[in-house]
């Protein structure tokens, strides 16, 4: 069951400590623990911008509060580092809204531009919606102040290994957040050539590029290109001044009725848009990020920065996958064990099929738990480990079922054979006709035993062991029976040997049948996992295709816009990116894409699982051909 966290106030997630060596980013473990407790998907919204521009006010509004994030009333920056406030999402049940308020960029007291760039980069890495807050208008000066965007390619790596020919910027849009530009204290009219324009049109006009390849054109275009190419959607809000200068110093004390009505309306529009349009944070491929996962990513990125390296999203996701997949195995095993312990109350099962049916149901639940949480298990190593661990658990419970049967059968035979044991002890059968009496008592025990229900799967074996254990006594009784002739005794001995040989043959046949049943059962279990993996891969394929189709659509729009602006060379580069995405979609749509994933699972099962389970993989190969 997913869980969220209700926080009464913000806490610092990433501290920005002022040390003699300069500002250092430090993760706050208490904040990470808060995220650790959030097992539901998160919608992280981060706000960045110059200090003292009213960022914290907007974040408090998103949290449904007048205060919380420090507003400050002086020229000093109040927020240091990145502060976090987790609240239930007002429009998405089962989701947590994670608000991230960053310290003001360009603080003259701090004077550390590189540190500012890292704070900006962390806001981009952790959010699904990035809000950029500025004052005045969107002009060349305000775009130049947004130089942190142009440095993102230096601060963030998408892949661990890239060649010189790789254009990572083509993939930033897939993983970066949406972009909202909030222009505060806006006093101009939204008009262009006498016609009224929307806020979004105002932003798009500001992002138009200049044709040409001169240095001036490149410098003008670069920040605009970064905003366009890096972020997957662009929205603009303009805000009038909320109150008089004097009242601004106590903004958190003012009610909405004391603020400018148009500003209040604009703030409500902004909040409604964020609530309705900010997406759940996902990793490449559409895997939803929980609070626990967001905390792990924050720790990974900060540790990378502190070590002096550039945060790599691919490495961070792989490290996260290792943690999550290992935890998914443990959670799946816990579910399996809990379910089987409930089933253990019914041990011994009457038949092996009854036990296997219970085991199959429990394993299916466990594998589903693993499938729901695991991701990027491309080599199926974690699922293979789960299969091996489940096999071990399966054998443990199978042994418990067998032991329960053995104990029950032994207890039953002890009760049923009480008269026989008493007769043996009192030498009742050492007389003429004693052998016949012994056989009669033995048959009575066997008939009552065979007609008694609930003995379990080891009933025949325990009875056979009981009879085998009495063979010497029966032989002694036979030899002592003076009413039998020598020939009759020899015939009885021969009969006993024949029965023993038949029992041994039956036991060998039963062992062979049991081995075949085991192989069949292992094959069915592997088939079940293959079917569940196929469903997961089909879901992942759907998400990848959907993600790529969206990317294609966005890049087509960008290409058309560039062509209209006369930038045909840049439009051509986007065309190449579109072609690459379409080729990728063709590969993903191929049946081989899923077939290879299941084939990998079969190979892992063959190598990781001993005995019949490993051999079952050869049978599953034909099964794979059947389901495609």
Query: What is the predicted pLDDT for the residue at 75?
Result: 35
* Mean pLDDT across the chain: 87
Choose the weakest-confidence range: 61-75, 421-435, 533-547, 551-565.
61-75
Gap between the Cα atoms of 540 and 401, Å rounded = 39
Gap between the Cα atoms of 497 and 545, Å rounded = 71
Q: Which of residues 333 and 492 earns the better pLDDT score?
A: 333
39 token code pair? 């097992």
Q: Which are the contacts of 292, defined by CB distance < 8 A and separation ≥ 6?
A: 35, 36, 37, 38, 39
Span 496-523, average pLDDT: 83
pLDDT at 616 over 60: no
Q: How far is CA 427 from the centre of its chain?
A: 71
State how far the alpha carbon of 482 is from the alpha carbons of 436, 438, 478, 485, 488, in Å.
Answer: 12, 14, 9, 7, 11
Query: What is the predicted pLDDT for the residue at 606?
Result: 77
pLDDT at 130 over 50: yes
Query: What is the predicted pLDDT for the residue at 615?
Result: 57
pLDDT at 554 over 90: no
Choose the weakest-confidence range: 59-73, 209-223, 268-282.
59-73
Tens digit of pLDDT for each residue in 53-80?
778 889 999 999 888 887 543 334 445 7
Span 170-197, average pLDDT: 90
Query: What is the predicted pLDDT for the residue at 620?
Result: 57
Q: How far is CA 588 from the centre of its chain?
A: 21
Span 409-428, average pLDDT: 93
Percent of all residues in the chain with a pLDDT value above 70, rounded to a whole number: 90
Query: What is the predicted pLDDT for the residue at 621?
Result: 62
Alpha-carbon radius of gyration of the chain = 37
Q: Which are the contacts of 622, defined by CB distance < 8 A and separation ≥ 6?
A: none
91: closest CA among 279, 262, 260? 279
Is beta strand 11-19 parallel, antiparallel or unpaired with respect to 22-27? antiparallel
Q: Which of residues 5 and 144 earns the better pLDDT score?
A: 144
Tens digit of pLDDT for each residue in 235-254?
999 999 887 656 666 666 67
Query: What is the predicted pLDDT for the residue at 541?
Result: 93
Tens digit of pLDDT for each residue in 347-405?
999 998 899 999 999 999 999 999 999 999 999 999 999 999 999 999 999 999 999 99
Query: What is the predicted pLDDT for the residue at 231?
Result: 92
Query: What is the predicted pLDDT for the residue at 21?
Result: 80
Tens digit of pLDDT for each residue in 440-492?
999 999 999 999 999 999 999 999 899 989 989 988 888 888 888 888 888 88
Q: Which of residues 610 and 239 earns the better pLDDT score?
A: 239
Q: What b-and-e string marks burial along 287-319, b requiring 16 or more CB atoms within 10 Å of the CB? A: bebbbbbbbbbbbbbbebbeeeeebbbbebbeb
Percent of all residues in the chain with a pLDDT value above 90, rounded to a whole number: 53
Confidence bin at 412 (pLDDT 50/70/90): very high
């Amino acid at each position: 069951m997913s869980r969220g966290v209700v926080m009464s106030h913000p806490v610092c997630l990433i501290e920005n400590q002022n040390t003699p060596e300069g500002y250092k980013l430090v993760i706050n473990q208490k904040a990470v623990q808060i995220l650790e407790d959030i097992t539901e998907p998160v919608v992280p919204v981060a706000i960045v911008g110059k200090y003292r521009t009213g960022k914290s006010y907007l974040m408090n509004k998103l949290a449904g509060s007048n205060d919380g994030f420090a507003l400050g009333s002086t020229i000093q920056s109040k927020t240091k580092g990145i502060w976090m406030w987790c609240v239930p999402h007002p429009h998405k049940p089962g989701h947590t809204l994670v608000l991230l308020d960053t310290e003001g960029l360009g603080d003259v007291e701090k004077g550390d531009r590189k540190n500012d760039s890292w704070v900006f980069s962390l806001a981009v890495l952790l959010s699904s919606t990035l809000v950029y807050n500025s004052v005045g208008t969107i002009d060349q000066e305000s775009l130049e102040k947004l130089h942190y965007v142009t440095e993102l390619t230096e601060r963030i790596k998408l892949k661990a290994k890239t060649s010189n020919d790789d254009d990572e910027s083509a993939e930033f849009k897939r993983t970066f957040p949406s972009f909202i530009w909030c222009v505060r204290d806006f006093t101009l009219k939204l008009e262009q050539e006498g016609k009224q324009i929307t806020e979004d049109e105002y932003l798009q006009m500001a992002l138009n590029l200049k044709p040409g390849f001169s240095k001036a054109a490149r410098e003008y275009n670069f920040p605009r290109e970064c905003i366009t190419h890096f972020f997957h959607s662009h929205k603009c809000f303009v805000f009038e001044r909320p109150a008089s200068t004097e009242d601004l110093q106590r903004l958190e004390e003012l009610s909405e009725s004391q603020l400018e009505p148009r500003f209040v309306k604009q703030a409500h529009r902004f909040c409604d848009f964020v609530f309705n349009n900010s997406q759940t944070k996902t990793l490449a491929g559409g895997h939803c990020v929980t609070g626990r996962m967001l905390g792990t990513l924050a720790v990974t990125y900060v540790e990378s920065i502190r070590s002096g390296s550039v945060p790599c999203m691919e490495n961070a996701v792989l490290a996260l996958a290792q943690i999550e997949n290992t935890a998914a195995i443990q959670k799946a095993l816990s579910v399996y064990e809990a379910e089987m312990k409930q089933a253990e109350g019914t041990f011994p099962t009457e038949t092996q099929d009854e036990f296997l049916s219970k085991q199959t149901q429990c394993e299916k639940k466990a594998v589903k738990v693993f499938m729901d949480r695991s991701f990027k298990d491309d080599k199926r190593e974690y699922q293979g480990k789960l299969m091996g661990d489940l096999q071990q658990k399966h054998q443990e419970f199978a042994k418990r079922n067998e032991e329960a049967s053995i104990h029950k059968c032994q207890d039953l035979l002890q009760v049923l054979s009480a008269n026989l044991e008493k007769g043996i002890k009192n030498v009742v059968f050492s007389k003429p006709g004693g052998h016949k009496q012994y056989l009669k008592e033995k048959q009575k025990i066997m008939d009552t035993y065979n007609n008694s229900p609930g003995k379990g799967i080891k009933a025949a074996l325990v009875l056979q062991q009981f009879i085998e254990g009495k063979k010497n006594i029966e032989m002694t009784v036979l030899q002592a029976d003076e009413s039998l002739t020598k020939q009759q005794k020899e015939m009885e001995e021969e009969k006993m040997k024949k029965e023993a040989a038949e029992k041994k043959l039956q036991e060998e046949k039963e062992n062979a049948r049991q081995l075949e049943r085991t192989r069949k059962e292992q094959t069915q279990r592997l088939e079940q996992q293959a079917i569940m993996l196929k469903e997961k891969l089909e879901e992942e394929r759907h998400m990848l295709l959907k993600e790529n189709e969206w990317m294609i659509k966005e890049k087509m729009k960008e290409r058309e816009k560039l062509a209209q602006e006369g930038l045909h060379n840049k439009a051509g580069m986007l065309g190449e990116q579109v072609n690459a995405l379409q080729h990728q979609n063709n590969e993903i749509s191929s049946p081989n894409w899923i077939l290879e994933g299941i084939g990998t699972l079969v190979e892992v099962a063959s190598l990781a699982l001993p005995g019949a389970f490993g051999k079952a993989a050869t049978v599953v190969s034909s099964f794979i051909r059947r389901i495609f």
